[in-house]
Amino acid sequence: MDFQKLAERLLPGDYPPPEQFEAQYPPRGLAPSAAVTRLAPSPTGFIHLGNLFVAIANERIAHQSGGVLYLRIEDTDLKRKVDGAVEAVIEALRYFDIRFDEGAEIDGPNAYGPYYQRARAPIYRAYAKDLIARGRAYPCFCTEEDLARLRERQTAEKQVTGYYGRYARCRDLTEEEIDAALAAGKPYVIRLRSQGDPAVKHIFRDEIKGEITVPENDQDVVILKSDGIPTYHFAHAIDDHLMRTTLVVRGEEWLASLPIHLELFDVLGFRRPKYGHNCSLMKMDGESRRKLSKRKDPELSLAFYRREGYHPRAVKVYMLTLLNSDFEEWYGKHPESPLTEFPFRIGKMSRSGALFDLNKLNDISKNELSRLSVEEMADFLRQWAQAFGSPEQQAYFADEEKLSRVLALCMGIGGKKRRKDFITAAQTLNEIAYFYAVPAQRDAYRVDDVTRDAVLDAFAATYDHADDAQVWFSKVKIIAADLGFAAEMRDFKADPSAYRGSVADVAEVLRIAFTGRANSPDLWSILQILGEDVVRARLRAAHA
């Protein structure tokens, strides 16, 4: 068999030799410790938490080491393409402060492009031609039906499925057979002529998983599809080599194809990058857990967190706590430091998959929001409201002064202790709604209606908007005493049976009347913000 001739027949014309690409894309002149990492999504436009998870790891490792993070678009499968997807990915990640140094749609030197795989087709073909010429790849004319039948047979025979060894029928086609098939216009793919033996295992050092055993590959995988576009495997080897990636951090669903990639790098004469296969985020699905899936878990898309109004920093902090187990401790010690100062270590990444825990995220969110200044909080809420809020909520921002007072009170600013009531923007705006409108619904009163009205009437009779907090509350105590409630908690606790209840019960009536809720920040302060007219109006409304 004249492989040289075969290569020319299959891929006629001039293709640059591999050396030319080596020269065109030379090693980057970076320090040996600098990591070049990448994100290589397919352009579906859908990103979920799992993607963010990997993205943060790649970003940290690259930028912390003085390296490069680039964006490559794996658009070899046109079925996956969605318009505007690339911009959507960049935008979504920018929200979480992940920035690329180069790549698709990124301003930069971009000396290692193009970054869309479809635009790199000639490069892949050049390497494929070289492989064919060297006898390391061959055309395969098997149809989908052929392959399906093969798979059935292998399954029935309890053999490993796939195109390999004695099952690789086209592997040993004669020149005449190939000529005939070509002449007949049969479509074909290019397959790798694998040299491996899966019985032979190697120890491989994965940056995350540690030492793992990897069998040799014997699958004659497709490297060029019938449309001349490469498969992921082939494109991965060529791109990550030519773009001089030093570390590939990707989901562990790729672990199973590592043998293929290793053989590809070897047969192409490329130096292998380092690999880190990280566990995927899991979610409970009924009784069992499974990895996050874009198909099944739309609520875990990044868009979901934006819509809910989670602060990006909260999401990022949560991702970081899952990514590096010592992050939480570090963050506790350095609450004021930028997140980028945390010494991220790939070796600290977990070997097993973490279950996504909304409770934990919510707790982190509360802490993050409680650390914002009133201005920062207002900005955050405004941005969210403009995109997702109701017209009523957007109107909150017309009176900045009032909003500031509301937020200052609800965040506990000025007091000795910050409050931590807020989790998301959506929930926050909902939480402060009573400052802007009569509460749509009310918590149940603990006392009966007669008592409620008595409290309300007594309050209305003595209310003076000019009273300070001290005087105001002393009046509440008087109302309590008049109605047979203990004015002092001390007294009530000493002898509960002597009273109908305590001043707490009376205060609750007022609280529900004004805010609709049994729980709120300091009531007197709320009334000050509401203003006397509103206070009187709500007193009347509460009677009904």
Could you tell me how far CA 205 lies from the centroid of its own chain?
A: 27
Out of 47, 142, 372, 542, the only residue in the binding site for RNA (CB under 7 A) is: 142
Q: ω into residue 187 within 30 of 0, thus cis?
A: no
Find the binding residues for RNA in span 522-541 (CB under 7 A): 522-524
Out of 7, 55, 189, 238, the only residue in the binding site for RNA (CB under 7 A) is: 189
Q: Whole-number minimum distance, CB 93 to RNA, in Å?
A: 16
Q: Characterize the bridge pairing of strands 210-215 and 222-224.
A: unpaired
What is the torsional sign of CA 121, 126, 131, 135? positive
Residue 217 interacting with RNA (CB under 7 A): no
Nearest CB to RNA, comparing residues 255 and 408: 255
Q: Are 306 and 389 in contact (CB under 8 A)?
A: no
Q: Whole-number minimum distance, CB 355 to RNA, in Å?
A: 3
# of chain residues touching RNA (CB under 7 A): 86
Q: Is 420 among the residues known to form the active site? A: no
Out of 46, 100, 124, 163, the only residue in the binding site for RNA (CB under 7 A) is: 163
Per-residue b or e along 149-168, where b marks 16 or more CB atoms closer than 10 Å to that residue's CB = ebeeebeeeeeeebbbeebb
Listing DSSP states for 290-357 in one string gives EE--TTT-GGGBHHHHHHHT--HHHHHHHHHHHH-TTHHHHHHH-TTS-GGGS---GGGS-SSPPBP-
Q: Whole-number minimum distance, CB 17 to RNA, in Å?
A: 25
Out of 143, 383, 386, 474, the only residue in the binding site for RNA (CB under 7 A) is: 143
Find the binding residues for RNA in span 333-362 (CB under 7 A): 348, 350-355, 357, 359-360
Out of 193, 291, 345, 405, the only residue in the binding site for RNA (CB under 7 A) is: 291
Out of 16, 45, 165, 521, the only residue in the binding site for RNA (CB under 7 A) is: 521
Find the binding residues for RNA in span 224-283 (CB under 7 A): 225-227, 229, 231-232, 252-257, 280, 282
81, 274, 291, 294: the catalytic one is: 294
Number of CB atoms found within 10 A of residue 125's CB: 19
Find the binding residues for RNA in span 438-467 (CB under 7 A): none
Residue 16 interacting with RNA (CB under 7 A): no
Residue 363 interacting with RNA (CB under 7 A): yes
Alpha-carbon span 423 to 314, nearest angstrom:
9
Task: Please identify, among the stretches 81-89, 334-342, 457-465, 502-510, the one whose residues bind RNA according to the rule CB under 7 A.
Answer: 502-510
Backbone φ and ψ of 323, nearest 5°: -70, -45
Strands in 411-488 per DSSP E: 485-486
Find the binding residues for RNA in span 406-445 (CB under 7 A): 412, 417-421
Q: Whole-number minimum distance, CB 10 to RNA, in Å?
A: 14
Number of CB atoms found within 10 A of residue 347's CB: 9
CA distances from 252 to 26, 160, 206, 302, 535 (A): 30, 22, 11, 21, 59
Alpha-carbon span 183 to 377, nearest angstrom:
70
Could you tell me how far CA 491 lies from the centroid of its own chain?
A: 54
Alpha-carbon span 484 to 495, nearest angstrom:
13
Out of 129, 366, 382, 538, the only residue in the binding site for RNA (CB under 7 A) is: 366
Task: Please identify, among the stretches 52-60, 62-70, 218-226, 384-392, the one whose residues bind RNA according to the rule CB under 7 A.
Answer: 218-226
Find the binding residues for RNA in span 28-67 (CB under 7 A): 40-42
* Catalytic residue annotation: 294
